[in-house]
């Protein structure tokens, strides 16, 4: 197992987040209003999000945005996180490649999600907001926001997709332990929820419905804002503390990665690790390769279309310019719940479109095989989401071996899997499958996109 860690001091926690948009050769297109077809401004977002988050969402010019001292202070609960040279995994693969991973699993909620949860909760608090609301699928984001809300004394209501609420009671309990109210969605607490329940009494919920409920609650409750855990530009921004720390740590290791890998759901942990390194390509002419690792069952970057689409299933959000499988695409019920999202964020999608980053999609069984190898060689049981990054890193390391090349690979361990052991159980019992998506399914999902504009 690996014991070569590169550790920073608390003073090394970044002072500012990195806003990659400022350095992009082609800027992301703006979000647009589905009715007026006009670009969305910060002011348009104020009713829904905190002002600070709304301003950050459309900030295309400031390269670095200061991290408030109160946020940096809370980052110190678990940051800086370690960078680890995965020598155990290298030995297990017998590869000449050097493999590094940034260990975001050490946060008290077990994932990187806390980086943005703290920032967003802080902004709400500092603007006098008393209540916040969000949706969560598997529960990683909901758990992180529950901790952050408790710290800042905000009341939090989390709409949790009903099937996860019932099947993943551990994450629900974690949120409740931190003091959040957790509501199975669809619920009777909103118009949107009541309609779904009335129309489909046995419906087990979807992220789309949960988003609608949270948005409705925020719009109809005084002094309440909606908070989102991925996809949006300001969330990607907050996550760049990951890559900014990793940059310093790779320097300590005396190497620069030539391949940077992270798993991909809506883009939050990928953006967080990749953007600070991407800057070396954009500004200094470096030639680092970036790989977003998505599930074979939800291949928006590798097989989706670059189009305007809704951020939610039911079409309540602004239209976002993104690689998408269509907002009605229903991903298979894989265990990497955090990657079951139909679209990528605007920044990542533009970078993908411009050939500045790559993507791969990986079958579920390959991710669990890689995860088990990682657990046995590095001692840490990874989250099913993070296992997509590990599987992609394994592919690259084996390619290096075939080609007899030394390679320096860096991936993000976005979370641990201690609360996902049911998934491992099923893997060891040969009770898991791969889920492929046919061209027809993809065409069905994306064929209606052009009508949206």
Enumerate binding residues for a copy of itself (CB under 8 A). Answer: 1-3, 5, 7, 9-10, 73-74, 76-77, 88, 106, 108, 110, 147, 150-151, 169-171, 173-174, 176-179, 372, 375-376, 379-381, 418-419, 421-422, 424-425, 428
Smallest distance, a copy of itself to C-beta of residue 154, A:
13
Q: How far is the CB of 66 from a copy of itself (least distance, A)?
A: 18
HEC profile for the chain?
CCCEEECCCHHHCCCEEECHHHHCCCCCCCCECCCCCCECCHHHHCCCCCHHHHHHHCCCCCCEEECCHHHHHHHCCCCCCCEEECHHHHHHHCCCCEEEEEEHHHCCCCECCHHHHHHHHHHHHHCCCCEEEEEECCCHHHHHHHHHHHHHCCEEEEEEEHHHHHHCHHHHHHHHHCCCEEEEECCCCCHHHHHHHHHCCCCCCCHHHHHHHHHHHHHHCCCEEECCCCCCHHHHHHHCHHHHHHHHHHHHHCCCCCEEEEECCCCHHHHHHHHHHHHHHHHHCCCCEEEEEEECCCCHHHHCEEEEEECCCCCCCCEEEEEECCCCCCCCCCCCHHHCCCECCHHHHHHHHCCCCEEEEECHHHHHHHHHHHHHHHCCCECCCHHHHHHHHHHHHHHHHHHCCCCEEEEEECEECCCCHHHHHHHHCCCCCCCCCCHHHHHHHHCCHHHHC
Q: Which is nearer to a copy of itself, 260 or 371 (CB)?
A: 371
Measured from the CB of residue 416, what is the shortest distance to a copy of itself in angstroms?
8
Q: Find the shortest distance in angstroms from Cβ 73 to a copy of itself.
A: 5
The residue (of 103 and 297) whose beta carbon lies closer to a copy of itself is 103
- Between 74 and 409, whose beta carbon lies closer to a copy of itself? 74
Taking the least distance from each CB to a copy of itself, the nearer of 21 and 124 is 124
Question: For residues 47 and 108, which CB has a smaller minimum distance to a copy of itself in the complex?
Answer: 108
Cβ distance to a copy of itself smaller for residue 106 or 330: 106
CB closer to a copy of itself, 62 vs 70: 70
CB of 124 to a copy of itself, least distance (A): 17
- Least Å from the CB of residue 381 to a copy of itself: 6
In the complex, what is the shortest distance from the CB of residue 421 to a copy of itself, in angstroms, rounded to a whole number?
Answer: 4
- Least CB distance to a copy of itself at residue 10 (A): 7
Comparing CB distances to a copy of itself, the nearer of 128 and 153 is 153
């Amino acid at each position: 197992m690996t014991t070569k860690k590169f550790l920073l001091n608390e003073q090394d926690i970044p002072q500012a987040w990195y806003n990659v948009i400022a350095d992009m050769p082609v800027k992301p297109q703006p979000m647009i209003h589905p009715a007026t077809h006009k670009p969305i401004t910060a002011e348009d977002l104020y009713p829904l999000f905190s002002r600070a988050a709304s301003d950050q969402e459309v900030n295309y010019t400031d390269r670095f945005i200061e991290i408030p001292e109160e946020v940096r202070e809370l980052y110190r609960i678990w940051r800086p996180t370690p960078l680890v040279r995965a020598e155990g995994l290298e030995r297990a693969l017998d590869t000449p490649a050097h493999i590094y991973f940034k260990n975001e699993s050490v946060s008290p909620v077990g994932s990187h999600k806390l980086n943005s949860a703290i920032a967003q909760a802080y902004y709400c608090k500092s603007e006098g907001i008393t209540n916040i609301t969000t949706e969560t699928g598997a529960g990683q984001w909901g758990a992180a926001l529950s901790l952050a809300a408790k710290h800042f004394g905000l009341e939090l209501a989390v709409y949790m997709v009903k099937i996860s609420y019932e099947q993943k009671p551990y994450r629900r309990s974690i949120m409740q332990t931190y003091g959040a109210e957790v509501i199975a969605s669809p619920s009777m607490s909103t118009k949107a929820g009541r309609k779904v329940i009335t129309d489909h009494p046995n419906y087990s919920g979807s992220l789309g419905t949960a988003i609608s409920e949270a948005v409705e609650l925020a719009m109809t409750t005084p002094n309440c804002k909606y908070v989102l855990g991925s996809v949006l530009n300001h969330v990607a921004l907050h996550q760049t503390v990951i890559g900014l720390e990793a940059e310093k740590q790779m320097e300590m290791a005396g190497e620069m990665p030539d391949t940077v890998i992270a798993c991909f759901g809506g883009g939050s942990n990928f953006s967080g690790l990749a953007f600070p390194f991407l800057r070396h390509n954009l500004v200094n002419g470096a030639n680092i390769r970036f790989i977003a690792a998505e599930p074979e069952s939800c291949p928006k970057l590798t097989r989706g279309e670059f189009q305007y689409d809704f951020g939610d299933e039911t079409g309540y959000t602004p239209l976002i310019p993104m690689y998408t499988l269509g907002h009605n695409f229903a991903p298979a019920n894989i265990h990497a719940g955090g990657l079951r999202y139909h679209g990528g964020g605007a920044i990542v999608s533009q970078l993908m479109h411009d050939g500045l980053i790559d993507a791969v999609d990986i079958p579920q069984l390959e991710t669990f095989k890689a995860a088990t190898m990682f657990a046995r060689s590095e001692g840490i049981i990874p989250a099913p989401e993070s296992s997509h990054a590990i599987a992609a890193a394994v592919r690259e390391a084996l390619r290096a071996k075939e080609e007899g090349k030394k390679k320096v690979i860096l991936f993000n361990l976005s979370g641990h899997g201690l609360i996902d052991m049911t998934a491992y159980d099923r893997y060891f019992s040969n009770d898991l499958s791969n889920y492929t998506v046919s061209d027809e399914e993809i065409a069905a999902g994306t064929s209606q996109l052009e009508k949206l504009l």
